[in-house]
Structure 1
Amino acid sequence: MNVTLKRVRNPFKWISLFLPAVLQFTAAAEKLPLSFTVRVGDEVTLPCENVIDGQQECEYTRWIFIDSGNTTTVRLAKLGQIIENAKSKSDRLSVTENCSLVIKKVTVEDVGRYDCQQFISGKQISDSQVHLSVIIMTERKVADKVTLWCSVLKYEQSCSHTVKWLYEGKDVDKDNKDMKTSQSVCYAAVSFLDSHFSYKSKSNLKCEVTDGYSGKVQLFTFSPQSSGEKTGENMLSCSR
């Protein structure tokens, strides 16, 4: 009796070759919007990822703003020019040569989604999104106890940012018995007795913010908001 042994191909070889392509396709299909995180008062430039080549002075470009509550949609720029009736934003906005949108003196009202749309002959042919988040810092003093807050205000309802306080580059909880910290989704607080720290010591406190999607880590040196900037528990509660 003759027995013929057939060579059995390893199916895992083809899976190992096919899987990376699937993962790359999935990542491309689920490409996340660009995201920027800046603190109140900063300037930010939001890039347009889908600019049509050859246009003169961004003639095919339109910028749209959608606020964090998805309740308001505002046209900010058309034909590369800032629209004058873009509420209080118009005097702080400009469009660059490559059709990016510049926002000066960022406020909490700027938190939201920014769409860069491309039009030809009145027909929209592409769209790209940028999400803008804002860092706010507040200080509260009761008797001799001082509490510093660092919060992230975002466009999305869910929060992917982690926030914590650092003192001289290290976690506050390490080797700092005089400080107590607490943190939750998108915010962190640190408390201490004012008599233990001078203003110079406070300047060594930094808020570390990590974007859970991109992995980008940013450090913000503590400085309270000026009297002209919005502050209060109502904003802090929005980020929790």
Structure 2
Amino acid sequence: MSDECHVCLLGLIFLSSLLTGISGVKVTNVFISSGENVRLSCNNALHDLKSTTWFYNRFRDSAAVELIYLGIKKKDTESHERLSLGSDCSLNIRNISKEDYGSYTCRQYVNGDQKQGPDAHVYLHILHVSSSQTEISAGRSVTLFCQLYSFAEVSCDDRIRSERIELFWVNQAGVKLTRSDSRYQILSSSDHCIITLNTTLLNEDHNREWRCEVTQRDQVKSSVTYTVKSSGEKQAHQSVMEEFLLDVQL
């Protein structure tokens, strides 16, 4: 092969890497909190539902699962009832749960078997908050867990560094809570994409909101709000009502 052909070949390889990215695959990242609805775009030229197939992978090495095959929903998937196909071939998922995180791929075909353009890849990241306590009352300690569930192509630690992703807690006023505040104990675990908030509840914390946010390159991508409902307040209210009813009966 001549030197000129070598130069041309190297030029094509370099151009291809610029267009598709270092990994060879262009990926769209979507962040959403559990309980919400989401729309995943196909990003291909055809708006023909019968040409569209959607695949799902939760883990990098797991086998792909067909969610939609040539415009028809597969009935043997866990999320079957919550899926629908948009008129633009987007995949709509209702009432997102933390188990829905992963990699979604849209592939389109022409004349049944000829692939139309490159696949559209979407990584769906789910933000979820849970509590260590089921009974919450003033004077008791509570720990809130905020976790970002992400497709395991790389470790969470690597993703946080490369994508500049940050998890943090804010109060009702939108002020970021820090470790310097003696009332809160905040612990982050980057390798698992978890940040915890521990505090001892006060009487005035009833109906108080704490919000966990995820940012990418300093832009808020999603958030989840946890509202404290003190069981002590509820029990006290019930006791007052019981005394009132007793007085009425007497």
TM-score (normalizing by structure 2): 0.69
* 1:87-133, Cα deviation, whole Å (9 max, x unpaired): 21111100010000001111222111110001113122331100111
SS across alignment from 1:169: coil
SS of the residue 1:91 aligns to: helix
Following superposition, the deviation at residue 183 of structure 1 comes to 1.2
Aligned equivalents of 1:174, 1:188: Cα separation in 2: 12
Q: 1:129-208 residue pairs with structure 2 within 5 A?
A: 129-141=121-133, 144-156=140-152, 157-159=154-156, 160=160, 161-167=165-171, 168-173=173-178, 176-185=181-190, 186-195=193-202, 197-201=204-208, 203=209, 205-208=210-213
- Is 1:83 the counterpart of 2:64? The answer is no
Which of 40, 46, 53 is 1:46 aligned to? Answer: 40
Residue 222 of structure 2 corresponds to 218
Mapped partners of 1:179, 1:188: distance in 2: 12
1:105 to 73, 78, 95: 95
- Tell me, yes or no, if structure 1 residue 72 matches structure 2 residue 78: no
Counterpart-to-counterpart distance in 2, 1:106 and 1:61:
22
Provide the C-alpha distance between the structure 1 equivalents of 2:227 and 2:67, rounded to a whole number of angstroms. 30
Is the Cα contact below 8 Å between 2:167 and 2:214 reproduced in 1?
yes
In structure 1, how many angstroms separate the alpha carbons of the residues matched to 2:131 and 2:199?
Answer: 11
Q: CA deviation at 1:190?
A: 1.0
Structure 1 residues not aligned, in runs of 5+: 1-22, 225-240
In the alignment, the residues of structure 1 paired with residue 18 and residue 215 of structure 2 have an alpha-carbon distance, to the nearest angstrom, of 21
Equivalent in the alignment of 1:128: 120
Quote the offset at 1:208 in angstroms: 1.4
CA distance in 1, matches of 2:155, 2:175: 28
How many equivalent pairs are there? 195
- Output the CA distance in 1 between the equivalents of 2:15 and 2:206: 50
Larger proportion of helix: 2
2:29 is matched with which residue?
A: 35
| Distance in 2 of aligned mates of 1:187 and 1:27 | 33
Aligned residue type for 1:45: R
Shift of 1:200: 2.1
Shift, 1:198, TM fit: 1.7
8 Å contact from structure 1 (residues 162, 187) kept in 2 = no
Sort the Cα spacing of 1:109 and 1:51 in 2 relative to 1 into closer, same or farther, 3 A.
Answer: farther
